[in-house]
Chains A and B, each alone.
Chain A
């Protein structure tokens, strides 16, 4: 469950966001420069909103009124970057293990690396380096790495934009399946309206920082 209402001043306009996601996928769609990535970064704690409040699973992680800003590492958010941001000097296995909590904090989700690699069909890539795998495979590794942290919210920044049509369709179906299996809210940024319609249970269109629910 995510509830966020915040504002963020950007050079040319002010971004205002008021979203609430219980479960399922929220798709943020809009042209480049509309503030989509900024929203994800504010939720994750990589950027600080100028005003507002962010609530994840009943826990306030940001509140301008109470001067509260919980650091990224304590927000329990999985983040899949647009360019995947895989660590080039680590193997797939080390990448995926990087964020594994030392002890599982949620007893219902005891995750082993084998589970995650198997679920994402990347077990055979364990000992490869990011530059030795394809775009679609990188995407799966990035997803595995984010899931390994046992997040309560998953943010995906244009996760499929760099992939060819076939890989894209396959991964769209898989994202839907993971969400159903994982039961945590996903927020997905895309500039592709069609993709938003396929994946989003809820779609928000962004233009110049203003949101319009579809």
Chain B
């Protein structure tokens, strides 16, 4: 059977879209959780990180329930946009976003918390409002952690299998992403297609981890330069 590159394109589309959603949502949420105390914060935090430990089938089941034809959000989409989420690429994007959100959230929150609070205080004494402090001091100094979270979220989105299969299904050319294509190619005995995709995924994942480690070491060196003055 001829090799199909379409799963690679679909996977990249899903991962890019998921990372955009996750980045836009995790930065304000992580900022709020790192800086504010409120009642029930621990419960919210647990819910946010839950997808990290839940089996993908549980997440898939929940997403089907919420976005299904009779689910609360599924119905809304049907009425407002005359479109459905289940068995579409949008479903795959949602699944990828849900599972990668905790990774990004944790990285961003840790990065924001690691910013020296004296710098934020200094900005306040210089007349800055909270939003200006966040965008000009906290965020730029947390940038390394945010990029690390972004790369991890991208890799996790690319590799998402279980929840995606449940909500988006296995429709070749439409919702069949790389991990799903590998599973079904192997089931069908098409080891050629499966092994090429396996090699691509493994090489990519290796590059992500290797790159992050190298980059982490370098930025640590930059933060603690020997002989900090000239």
Q: Which residues of A from 109 to 154 have beta carbons under 8 Å from B?
A: 131-135, 145-146, 149
| Complex-state Cα separation, A89 to B141, whole angstroms | 7
- Report yes or no: A73 in contact with B127, Cβ–Cβ below 8 A: yes
Asked whether any CB of chain B lies closer than 8 Å to the CB of A52, the reply is: no
Q: In the complex, what residues of A have CB within 8 A of residue B126's CB? A: 98-99, 145-146, 149
Q: Which of A78-86, A178-186, A198-206 contacts the other chain?
A: A78-86
Residue in chain B with minimal CB distance to A75: B125
The binding surface of chain B is classed by DSSP as helix
Q: How far is the CA of A89 from the CA of B223 in the complex (A)?
A: 11
Assess whether B229 is interfacial by the CB under 8 Å rule.
yes
Tell yes or no: B230 within 8 A of A by CB: yes
Interface size class, chain A = 20 to 34
Q: Does B62 contact A (CB under 8 A)?
A: no
Interface centre among B124, B125, B129 (most CB of A within 10 A): B125
A-B Cβ contacts below 8 A, count = 58
B140 within 8 A of A: yes
B116, B121, B125, B128: the one contacting A77 at CB < 8 Å is B125
Chain A residues whose C-beta falls within 8 Å of the C-beta of B228 in the assembled complex: 131
Q: Do residues A85 and B140 form an inter-chain contact, with CB atoms below 8 A?
A: no
Taking a contact as CB atoms closer than 8 A, the residue among A72, A81, A98 that contacts B118 in the complex is A81
Residues of B within 8 A of A87 (CB): 119, 122-123, 137
**A89 CB contacts on chain B under 8 angstroms:** 140-141
B129 touches which of A46, A73, A77, A78 (Cβ 8 Å): A73
Asked whether any CB of chain B lies closer than 8 Å to the CB of A101, the reply is yes
Interface: B40 (CB within 8 A): no
In the complex, what distance in Å separates the CA atom of A146 from the CA atom of B129? 16
- Whether the Cβ atoms of A85 and B118 lie closer than 8 Å is yes
Interface residues of B (CB under 8 A from A): 116, 118-119, 121-129, 136-137, 140-141, 225, 228-230
List 4 A-B pairs, minimum CB-CB distance, nearest first. A99-B126, A85-B122, A79-B125, A73-B127
Q: A73-B125, A85-B118, A145-B126 are in contact. List 8 more A-B contacts (CB 8 A).
A: A79-B122, A81-B121, A85-B122, A98-B128, A99-B125, A99-B127, A132-B230, A149-B126
Which A residues have a C-beta under 8 Å from some C-beta of B?
44, 46, 72-73, 77-79, 81, 83, 85, 87-89, 98-99, 101, 131-135, 145-146, 149
Q: Give 21 pairs: A residue, B residue, CB < 8 Å, sorted on A.
A: A44-B125, A72-B124, A73-B125, A73-B127, A79-B122, A85-B116, A85-B122, A87-B119, A87-B123, A87-B137, A89-B141, A98-B136, A99-B127, A101-B127, A131-B228, A133-B230, A134-B229, A145-B126, A146-B125, A146-B126, A149-B125
